[in-house]
Amino acid sequence: MIVQGFGNVGYHAAKFLSEEDGARIFVVAERDGYVANPDGLAIEALKQHQIRTGSILGFDGGASLARDMTGIEQPCDVLIPAAMENAIHAENAERIKAQLVVEAANGPITFDADKILRARGVTILPDLYVNAGGVVVSYFEWVKNLTHIPFGLMERRRRERRNHAIATVLERMTGKEFPTDMRDEFLEGGAEIDLVRSGLEDVMRSTWSRIADLMQEQPELGDYRTAAYVASIRQIAEAYEAIGI
């Protein structure tokens, strides 16, 4: 994978994809150049280097190419533009060698570049879906403020009792104690941040299912961006219809 932009979005995308999903992030590009390591970059170490020096360049764990904007043009499976608008445009779209482009920034692909990439068979996951997480969690916060009830207040103890019962049954069935390194986390009812992340994951998964199903049902839509717009407009229409508008 290649990540363009190493701010809040790019850093966390690279960190979670590499640490939790085993992705190999071998290029990180910024406005002053890029760093590369074919074996994969140590993302957390790179972030600490950036904090200390103000730049990703000069990182010991990879080769630095100053004032070189071709980092996003290296062959890769997945390219994540996560910084600025119009990062991929008509002039460089033909040189993009990714199979999948995931728009983590707002509008990182111009209209002309989008047509060029799709004509070449590149799959694009659109920004209106990919970077919707901030808006989704803001909605959670709004609901919490309206109700004045912290997430999980009504369920946390019930989940703790249920998980404790499951652990006890497993111990009786196997004749072994539940692993101590997992027990506390399993028995815990879940902190508020865990519940927020779970809710976010549920929204993102269900939304992706709607988009993907729509593409399968109506392949004439042509791309995931169009499918995402159609799914969104349909959902808004259904909401208005439900209240008689």
Nearest C-alpha neighbor of 121 from the set 138, 152, 92, 99 = 99
Q: What is the DSSP string of 38-103?
A: TT---HHHHHHHHHHHSSSTT-TTSEEEET---GGGS-EEEEEE-S-TTSB-TTTGGG--EEEEE-
pLDDT at 171: 87
CATH number for 2-128 (one of 3.40.720.10, 2.60.120.920, 3.40.50.720, 3.40.50.300): it is 3.40.50.720
pLDDT at 110: 97
CB 102 within 8 A of CB 78: yes
Of 28-42, 77-91, 163-177, where does mean pLDDT reach its minimum?
163-177
pLDDT at 32: 94
pLDDT at 103: 98
- With 70 as the cut, is the pLDDT of residue 154 above it? no
- With 70 as the cut, is the pLDDT of residue 153 above it? no
C-alpha of 56 from chain center: 21
- With 90 as the cut, is the pLDDT of residue 161 above it? no
Q: What is the 3-state secondary structure (H, E, C) of 181-240?
A: HHHHHHHCCCCHHHHHHHHHHHHHHHHHHHHHHHHHHCHHHCCHHHHHHHHHHHHHHHHH
pLDDT at 151: 72
The pLDDT tens digits of the residues spanning 95-151 come to 999 999 999 999 999 999 999 999 999 999 999 999 999 899 999 889 888 887 777
Which residue ranges make up each domain of the chain?
2-128, 132-150+191-245, 153-189
Mean pLDDT estimate for the chain: 92
HSE toward the beta carbon, residue 106, CA cutoff 13 A: 4
- With 80 as the cut, is the pLDDT of residue 67 above it? yes
User: What gap in Å lies between CA 233 and CA 221, rounded to an integer?
Assistant: 14
The pLDDT tens digits of the residues spanning 215-224 come to 999 999 999 9
